[in-house]
Amino acid sequence: MDEKLKNEFINAFLRFRETRSRFLATRELSWGTMVILNKLEIDGNVIGIREKLHITKPAVTYMLNSLERDGCITRSIDANDRRRIDIKLTGKGKELVKIHRKSHEVFMDKALERFGESNSKDFIRLFNSFADILDELREERKNV
């Protein structure tokens, strides 16, 4: 592959990733912290969060400690299984998720309106095609 094209592709991908992270973060919370709050709001646990964020277990613990200190979550020992910790969103945590989702929705509506329907459909098709290739290469690497 042409070296210049490869570098442009990598730079565009990194720019998209950085832009997404800045967009998803709020003034109060980082992108990772918002992912944790959203996951808790959806299914009440943080299982799989390390993989989704590509971070260590101590980093997740640090974020949970910060969220608890800021009054966004509570943690308690499960009455049925003392090895398990129950994590619940507080009213403040639920409100932050609600505000973030509304802000995200408005922002995406504006971005997609500017990008246009045709570009959006092309982007989705191309991005999914590229993601499929990456998945295939990941599987091939496992089998080597």
Give the dihedral of Cα atoms 18, 23, 28, 31; nearest 10 deg: -50
- The tokens for 19 are 């832009």
pLDDT tens figures, 89-100: 999 999 989 988
The total of structural domains in the chain comes to 1
* CATH number of the CATH domain containing 101: 1.10.10.10
Residues in the chain: 144
- DSSP letter for 55, please: -
CA distance 119 to 140: 31
pLDDT tens figures, 68-117: 999 999 998 888 888 888 889 999 999 989 988 888 889 889 999 999 99
Q: Which range of residues forms the domain containing residue 125?
A: 3-142
* Alpha-carbon 143 to chain mean position: 28
